[in-house]
Structures are given as C-alpha cells and as structure tokens.
Amino acid sequence: MTVYRTRAGLRHRFRDVLNFYYPDCLDTAVGGYVAQLDERDGHVYDARTKHLVATARGVHNFSLGVLTDGPHWCDYAAEHGLRFLSTVHWDDERAGYDWLLDGRTPTDRTRYCYGHAFVLLAAARALQAGLPGARAELERAFGVLEEGFWEPDHGLYADRASPDWDLASYRGQNANMHTCEALIAAYEATGADRYLERAVTVADRFTRDVTAATDGLLWEHFTETWEPDRSYNADSPRHRFRPPGYQPGHHAEWAKLLALLATHRPEDWLLERAHDLFETAVDLGWDDEYGGLYYTVTADGEPIVPDKYGWVHAEAIGASALLCRADRETDRDSPAPLEWYDRLWAYASEHLINPRYGNWYERLARDHDRDGPNHGPAVEPGYHPLTNCWLGLRALEADGRSSFGPRAAER
C-alpha cells in the first residue's frame, strides 16, 4: 500500500477518523464527549456514560488534529473535552480522576493508573496544541501518578487503588506501557528532563529487567513484587482487557515507544530492543492462513485468541514507521520494517477500516467475520489509528521526506 508511504495518504486516513467522530461526539448538554458511536454507521448507542479513558483520548485526538493543521473545529473540540476532564472527572476531595460517570455523576471512582496515564497524555498533547489550562492539568496528572502509583523500589507504577488510595496487589504491564507513552509526550510538550528520565526508567525496567523471567517476552500480569502471575485470568482466555498469554500488539507498541525514546536518548539498547520486540510481534503473531496479527498467543506462537483487533495493527504500523526512519538514520540494512509497514496497511485497508466512513473496527474473528457491533462504555474512539498516522507523519517530516522508502536517486 504505497499510498500510505506518503504524507498525503496518511493525512487522508487521519482526517477520515476525525470526521467520523465529529460533531456527533460532542455533548453540548452535559459536557465532554459522547464516545459510544456504533462502528458500522456512527449512531449513538449510549449518550450517558463518560469513561475517563474515552474522554482523555478525545482530548488527545482533537489536539493531534490541531497539531496537524486539521479541520478548524479541532481546537474547539479539544478544549471542550479538556474542560470536562479537568472539572467533572476530577475528584477534588480525594484527588484523582473518576473512572466512570453517568452524565456528570460518578458511578465508579476506582483509581486506575491506566486512566491517569491517559489524562497525562491528553494534557501533554493539549499543551503542544496551545490549549489554555493544559500545563496545569499536565502537572496535576503527573503529581497524582507520582504520589498515588509510583513505586520507587520497583521502578514501576502500581495498577489501581480504591477511591481512598488503598493499592490493589495486582501489577500490570499495560498501565506502565501507557504511562511511559504519556511521559514521553510530557517531555515533548515541556522539555522537562524529569519526564524523559522517568520514561526511560520504566522502559528499561520493564522491557529488559522484568522480561528476563519470561525469556524476553512481555507477560501482562504480575504479583505485587513483579513476579509473573501465570494463573491470572487463566480461566478467562477471552477477557477483553486482561487476557492470559502474550499479546503481539503490546510487543509492537513497546517497540514503537522504544523507537520514540531513541529519538530523544540515543542509547543503542533502545533501538536494538525495539527491533527485537517488533520482530517478536510479527513472528509470533502473524496469521499465515488468514493474514493479520492474533490477539493473544502462547510463547511459541500458537493462538489463544485468534481474533484480529484494529488497535493491534495500528500500533504495528506506527512501530514499523518509526523503525523505517531509525534504520535510515543509522544506516541499518533491513528492508523488513518497510515491508511490514506495507503489509499491515494492506491488511487494515482490506479488513479493518470501514469502507464507508474510514473509522477502524475494534475486532474481527480470525476469518474476518464480524460477530457483533462491539458496543460498551470502554470504547476506542480512534486513538490508535490517529496516533500512529500522526507518528508516521512525524517520521517523514523529521527526515525531510514526502514518502517512506528509498529516495529517488537510490532507486
């Protein structure tokens, strides 16, 4: 799919996703967003539920729209969501951000590190986009992460707490990965070294130290002392958010983050580990019969849940784009990232992208059947495809190029 090697192709796909959500996602009565849009035709199936992650992702998405000189309404849409995030989701009495709301009324005040990481990410992108109040929100979100979740003895973040900040014993990969992502964004928005230092610490600790217990593969679930908990959800292999097994998508996502860190901290291990994790993602995860990346696999690549998720492929696209750029800058002779970039886009275009509206489907069966509308309060409002199209655009701009692949003189 050479069209997605170009800025024009990436911008077209980026705008399609934004246009799918705007203006129906703006809740002008209650505030914030109506994120629950049916992925087939865009109708609203739940106008009441406000999910912390969906709100934060909406702010992030429209802020990226501002940063890419997108539609004129992106600025207003991002500020609209940031105002709701910083006032209604925020619990001033106990500190922290409420997880679920019915309109403006909290229904679940559990403190999730994952949710707070997305607030930090949203505030960072909003600050880059020049939104008023974004810097204060960034600093507040980081303060809660540090005070409520950071565990200096382990160099990683705890996963969740009660509204009164009693930590649960569960520790998880996903919360740390997205906190690392948010810390990189906070550094890019502010230039403050403390965010970059913390991001490198988390990345190093998780992708090199913790994974030594699983032969370099990324396990998802851990005990309080960061030992792999292999029994966690073993009886629920299709758990939507915390399944057992290895996730090729998270190997690709960490590869992307390490490649991003390498642009700010030129340490050899970052790109070496990024390539290793990306190769693991496609080697273990690619379905040779039907195409696409499995959701979860065993350590030898046997599928546990063979479904194909949109976010997995978007993350692998972003990782391959950044590795293409890194390989060119370091004169690494490897055509694999560009080949995978094209293959992943071809798969997504054929199976995962709604041909009518341009949004991405959440999940397909292994053979690409769709068994339902994928409804629920914890939605994915375009964050993964928008993020990774944007990273592809950044990779091209940083290299002063209009497309991936060799320059004309080198062909």
Residue 28 sits in a domain whose CATH number is 1.50.10.10
Stated as kind and residue range, the H or E segment containing 106 is strand 105-108
Give the pLDDT of residue 410.
43
Give the pLDDT of residue 148.
98
Give the pLDDT of residue 411.
38
Position 411 in a domain: no
Strand runs (DSSP E) across 119-232, as ranges? 150-151, 156-157, 160-161, 171-172, 221-222
Q: State both tokens at 100.
A: 């679920």
Position 208 in a domain: yes
Beta strands across the sheet bearing 100-102:
49-51, 100-102, 105-108
Structurally, how many domains does the chain consist of? 1
Give the pLDDT of residue 381.
93
Give the pLDDT of residue 409.
37
Give the pLDDT of residue 398.
73
φ, ψ of residue 226 in degrees (nearest 5): 65, 40
Give the pLDDT of residue 407.
52
**Packing angle of the helix pair 52-67, 7-21 (nearest 10 deg):** 140
Position 391 in a domain: yes
Coil/strand/helix, residue 54 = helix
Percent of the chain with pLDDT over 90: 90
- Domain of 176? 2-405
CA distance 185 to 392: 16
Average per-residue pLDDT in the chain? 95
Which residues form the catalytic set?
250, 384
Position 134 in a domain: yes
CA distance 363 to 294: 11
Position 410 in a domain: no
> b/e for 73-109, b at 16 or more Cβ within 10 A?
bbbebbbbbbbbbbebbbeeeeebbbbbbeeeeeeeb
Contact 246, 299 (CB under 8 A): yes
Residue ranges, the chain, pLDDT below 70? 1, 333-334, 399, 402, 406-411
Coil/strand/helix, residue 157 = strand
Give the pLDDT of residue 347.
98
Position 379 in a domain: yes
Position 228 in a domain: yes
Give the pLDDT of residue 330.
76
Instruction: Give the C-alpha distances (Å, rounded to integers) separating 119 from 7, 107, 199, 322, 337.
Output: 29, 19, 16, 24, 31
